[in-house]
Amino acid sequence: MTPLAYLLQRGTALIMAPMILVHLAVIIMAVQGGLTGEEILARTRGNALWAGFYATFVLAAAVHAGIGLQTVIREWTGMTTRGAAVTGHLFMLLLIVLGLRAVMGVYGA
Ligand code: HEM
């Protein structure tokens, strides 16, 4: 693992740890405010601050998982470092696209 990948993986873990606590609090509040799709979207649509929070969460998780997966792939499949890097980055890209689309769907205007 390169020093940059090491720093990014530990850094994104540090970013995500407190975000998970906020996310848990949001889940508890959401349960109290009504859990149908309409009720949730009525609260979330057009909220730029929460869109920013969850977009950051998505980016941190995607970078973290994309880097971590490379170690797992190398250990389990014997794939070359380059093959694992390509696969890890493709997975990272997929998580970013799907994750940001989900954030747009829930928090977009
Ligand atoms: C608060 C959330 C999270 C924290 C604090 C966290 C923390 C960590 C830490 C410290 C490591 C390094 C372990 C090591 O190198 O010995 C790690 C590795 C890893 N994490 Fe996370 N993580 C979090 C969320 C996630 C998520 C959401 C995913 C997947 C979507 C994920 C996937 C991985 C993978 C694949 C590795 C590599 C395992 C390995 O090197 O053997 N993590 N995580």
Is the Cβ atom of 72 under 6 angstroms away from ligand 1?
Answer: yes
Mutate to test the pocket of ligand 1, among 64, 81, 94 (most ligand atoms within 8 A of CB): 64
Question: The tokens of 1 are what?
Answer: 């693992």
Question: The tokens of 59 are what?
Answer: 């980016």
pLDDT, tens digit (0-9, with 9 covering 90-100), for 48-107: 999 999 999 999 999 999 999 999 999 999 999 999 999 999 999 999 999 999 999 999
**Among 63, 71, 70, 73, which residue's Cα sits nearest to residue 94?**
63
pTM (predicted TM-score): 0.91
Length of the chain as a residue count? 109
> How large is the C-alpha radius of gyration of the chain?
17
Is the Cβ atom of 83 under 6 angstroms away from ligand 1?
Answer: no
CA distances 30 to 38, 40, 44, 73, 94, Å, are 12, 7, 10, 37, 28
Is the Cβ atom of 69 under 6 angstroms away from ligand 1?
Answer: yes
Closest ligand 1 atom to residue 75 Cα is 41
